[in-house]
């Protein structure tokens, strides 16, 4: 894909290079990319299971996920349910810029690294940059779109299909930000975590994964996912990437796409 003499976005912009990659990053000017990169102050490393933000607490800064994965989770009497997963390039709690507090916990899945930016700084920069503002706004709405899709899937699909959908989505999103690999994906996920994501017990998740394995759709073993036929996985999980608003899945003519990206 990338010719060797062209430096990758993540080399040019170590903290923010994967932000909106494959979505509308191409509509960011070089100045905007630099502005975004330079906004980022300290970075912070988290260990597995470490909580970055606790629900309800007031926040005056947001974080860009640079490396690793994070989970949106919500505790309740007798367990925790996992709402969503973040991959590098996600501006994970940018919504706190408008919300001031989150309604969920952000927990590191495996070791991860985030870069921080204060809301004060953000406000200063954005007051002068309506286009960048609109793109940041866009990025926070992607989460909502992912939530909506997940609601549909919870309502329609049964356990094995739900995991298949999670696998397909995760893989697709990793591809978008330049982290996809060929026949397998390595994550710190366990069967119990997948169960929490799908709203089933870990025992049932185990059987669902066994089903996918026997059917030759996907083989998940100790955090590594092996898939031979990806479109088969996607079909089984009823995965249609339109909701991810990637540049490819937009189904728009080039001219229209150009309008969309630049307006």
Partner DNA sequence: CGTTCCCTTGAGTAGTTTCAATACTTGTGG
Partner DNA sequence: CCACAAGTATTGAAACTACTCAAGGGAACG
Q: What is the binding site for a copy of itself (CB under 8 A)?
A: 56, 58, 72, 74, 76, 79, 81, 83-84, 95, 97-100, 103-104, 119, 123, 126-127, 130, 133-135, 137-138, 140-141, 143-145, 147-152, 154-156, 196, 198-199, 238, 242-243, 245, 251-252, 256, 260, 263
How far apart, in Å, are the Cα atoms of 183 and each of 115, 150, 234? 30, 25, 14
Quick one: what does residue 160 bind among a copy of itself, DNA, none, with the CB cut-off 5 to 8 Å set by partner type? DNA
DSSP annotation of 217: S
Q: Which of 124, 131, 207, 258 binds DNA (CB under 7 A)?
A: 207
Q: Are 87 and 173 in contact (CB under 8 A)?
A: yes
Q: From residue 43, how far is each of 16, 69, 91, 115, 183 by CA, in Å? A: 12, 15, 13, 4, 32
Distance, CA of 215 to CA of 236 (rounded, Å) = 11
Stretch that binds DNA, among 12-20, 53-61, 141-149, 157-165 (CB under 7 A): 157-165
**Site stretch for DNA (CB under 7 A), options 16-24, 65-73, 110-118, 197-205:** 197-205
The site partner of 210 among DNA, a copy of itself, none (C-beta below 5 to 8 Å per kind) is DNA
Which of the 8 DSSP states describes residue 12?
A: H
* CB of 76 closer than 8 Å to CB of 67: no
241 in helix, strand or coil? helix
Please choose, out of 24-32, 131-139, 196-204, 252-260, the segment that lies near DNA by the rule CB under 7 A. 196-204
- Interacting residues with DNA (CB under 7 A): 158-160, 190-192, 199-204, 206-210, 221-223
């Amino acid at each position: 894909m990338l010719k060797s003499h062209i430096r990758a976005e993540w080399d040019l912009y170590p903290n923010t290079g994967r932000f909106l990659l494959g979505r509308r990053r191409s509509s960011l000017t070089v100045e905007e990319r630099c502005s975004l990169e330079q906004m980022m102050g300290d970075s912070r490393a988290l260990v597995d299971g470490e909580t970055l933000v606790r629900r309800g607490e007031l926040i005056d800064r947001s974080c860009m996920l640079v490396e690793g994965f994070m989970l949106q989770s919500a505790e309740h009497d007798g367990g925790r349910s996992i709402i969503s997963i973040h991959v590098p390039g996600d501006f994970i709690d940018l919504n706190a810029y408008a919300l001031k507090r989150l309604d969920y916990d952000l927990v590191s899945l495996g070791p991860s690294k985030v870069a921080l930016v204060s809301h004060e700084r953000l406000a200063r920069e954005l007051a002068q940059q309506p286009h960048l503002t609109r793109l940041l706004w866009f990025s926070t709405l992607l989460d909502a779109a992912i939530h909506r899709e997940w609601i549909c899937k919870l309502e329609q699909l049964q356990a094995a299909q739900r995991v298949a959908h999670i696998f397909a989505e995760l893989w697709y999103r990793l591809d978008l930000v330049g982290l996809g690999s060929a026949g397998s994906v390595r994550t710190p996920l366990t069967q119990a975590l997948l169960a929490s994501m799908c709203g089933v017990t870990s025992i049932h998740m185990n059987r669902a994964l066994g089903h996918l394995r026997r059917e030759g759709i996907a083989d998940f073993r100790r955090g590594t996912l092996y898939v031979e036929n990806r479109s088969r996985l996607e079909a089984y999980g009823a995965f249609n990437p339109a909701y991810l608003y990637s540049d490819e899945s937009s189904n728009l003519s080039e001219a229209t796409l150009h309008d969309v990206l630049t307006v």
